[in-house]
Amino acid sequence: MLKFKIPDFSIEQIANSGQCFRINKTENAWQVIALGKVLEIQQVDKNSCAFNCSKEEYENIWTNYFDLNRNYNEIKKAILETKDAYLIKAVEYGYGLRILKQDAWEIIVSFIISQRNNIPRIKNTIKKLCVPYGAFFPWASDLAKHTEKDFKSMGLGYRAKYLVDIVKAVNSGDFDIEYLKKLSYQDAIKYMKQFNGIGDKVANCIALFGLHKIEAFPRDVWINRIIENQYNGKFNIKRFAGYAGIVQQYMFFYQRSLGR
């Protein structure tokens, strides 16, 4: 295990933030399954973690995946300077959150599944999809072997049709993920919303968590509730130009804790 000092980082908070579905608690650590790798992380204290990998793997894969080169403390300072009482509490509560740089295809599938769903069920469904492939998330060519009925048996419900449609679109080249990655935030949202099962909320989740466009600001029932109850229906996202998605994560994580 390699120990690193990492400020503004909590693997537990990240695992429970709703942006990823294959980070799970083991007896003594957290297991991360991503990018064809399996990683164990131990939170040593608030400012340091131990990674069960080589230094080369840590530097070449995980520093990027966990967005460790971004100064989250500077972003927190900018948020706190707004004197927004709700956001101050949210930032303090979610001190260790980071926006992961996840695989775009995995995020597309995950957030199509996430619609009107809860995190335990999403995780269980994704686990069923991944069982035959271990650490590797199944490609569109793999998922093409399954029928809508197969997906429903895994717990997708009405979302099964959406998954069948996006798998077909990716395999045919109609949905070009490499092209999507090159688009601006606004163009990426417009491009994704052409496809069945991807509305504004899902498109913004994919943009934020799969394309790492941190200006994206997904609005789900939790965020809408915050805006209605805390801001009388009006929330000025422009105050946070360039990092609204990070603000969204602080809000979402904090509000869910209050909801629970």
Pairing of strands 23-25, 2-5: unpaired
**One domain, residues 84 and 175:** no
Q: What burial class does residue 202 get, using C-beta atoms within 10 Å of its C-beta: 0-12 exposed, 13-18 middle, 19+ buried?
A: buried
The mean per-residue pLDDT over the stretch 63-76 comes to: 96
pLDDT at 259 (0 to 100): 74
Rounded average pLDDT over 157-186:
97
Average pLDDT rounded to a whole number, residues 46-51: 94
Average pLDDT value for residue range 94-101: 97
User: What average pLDDT score do residues 166-185 get?
Assistant: 98
Give the N- to C-terminal CA distance of the chain in Å, as an integer: 34
**pLDDT in the model for residue 213:** 98
Residues 6+ apart with CB under 8 A from 86: 226, 230, 231, 251
Q: What is the dihedral of CA 105, 108, 109, 114, to 10 degrees?
A: 150
For residue 258, the model assigns a pLDDT of 87
Distance CA 67, CA 74 (A): 14
* Residue 4 to residue 147: CA distance in whole angstroms: 45
Give the chain's domain count.
Answer: 2
Domain membership of residue 140 as a residue range: 104-209
Work out the percent of the chain whose per-residue pLDDT is above 90. 94
What local confidence, expressed as pLDDT, does residue 134 receive? 82
**238 in a structural domain:** no
Tell whether the model's pLDDT for residue 248 goes beyond 90: yes
Q: Is residue 131 part of a domain?
A: yes
The type of residue at 208 is: L
Report the percent of the chain where pLDDT is more than 70. 100
Look up residue 239 and give its DSSP letter. Answer: G
29 and 85 assigned to the same domain: yes
Give yes or no for residue 260 having a pLDDT over 70: no
**pLDDT over 80 (residue 162):** yes
User: What is the per-residue pLDDT across 177-221, written as a single tens digit (0 to 9) for each?
Assistant: 999 999 999 999 999 999 999 999 999 999 999 999 999 999 999
Asked if the structure places residue 155 within a domain, the reply is: yes
Residue 173: which CATH number? 1.10.340.30
CB neighbour class for 132 (10 Å; exposed up to 12, middle 13-18, buried from 19):
exposed
Query: Going by C-beta distance under 8 Å and a sequence separation of 6 or more, which residues neighbour residue 27?
Result: none
